Amino acid sequence: MVQYLVGKAHGGYSVAERVQQFGSRVERRLKPAFEAAGAGYPPEEAAFLAFKDSRTVEVCARNAGQPWRLVKAYPVLAASGGPGPKLKEGDHQVPEGVYRIESLNPNSRFHLSVRLNYPNEFDRRMAQADGRTNLGGDIMIHGNSVSVGCLAMGDDAAEDLFVLSALVGKERMKVLIGPTDFRSSGVFRPAAVPPWVDSLYASLREELRQFPKVR
């Protein structure tokens, strides 16, 4: 038993063990918000919508035959860079685009983390067209309050997002990251970005249409 506890202190948790460890308190925090939004907990699908300018991550959810519901919004405690997509390793930019959850890390040095599939197909295609290589990677949504190229949410929020992702299943999750909320913003284009950013932002704007906006 002592060896087991020492091993856990140095990592080695499974996703299932972390869900068992944090699941009850995450449910206590999240279930009332889901019920107030008219969504069951856990939902069949969920999405995280991240906006750089407001430094927020919105959680939306839906079940079969229902529209997307806005459940909760979390503040981003730390994120490096500014508006505009990530172009290369070391640019300290948070990516922008539509991403999947690639994996969950139950032993993150930032408490818990959700790993995105950056660079995705669009990122790689644009890099090839630009002649760029070394795009970077390991982009996470994680706990703690420090970050370089990732979204640091604090430990409680990281538990919520990690457990929710585990319960829903990463194949039924999506993550949208944009410089601003295109549901309310007009034309938005940062300075000194590649021409293809216009098509990226058009696709983000279209994706966001299906999600309810905070009133």
Annotated catalytic, 142? Answer: yes
pLDDT-derived band at 7 (thresholds 50, 70, 90) equals very low
pLDDT digits (tens, 9 = 90+) for 57-99: 999 999 988 999 999 999 999 999 999 999 999 999 999 999 9
Annotated catalytic, 60? Answer: no
pLDDT digits (tens, 9 = 90+) for 150-191: 999 999 999 999 999 999 999 999 999 999 999 987 678 888
Mean of per-residue pLDDT scores for the chain? 93
* 163-167 LR contacts (CB < 8 Å, sep 24+): 163/18, 163/19, 163/22, 163/23, 163/26, 164/26, 164/30, 164/42, 164/46, 164/59, 165/46, 165/101, 165/104, 165/114, 166/15, 166/16, 166/18, 166/19, 166/104, 167/19, 167/23, 167/42
pLDDT-derived band at 192 (thresholds 50, 70, 90) equals confident
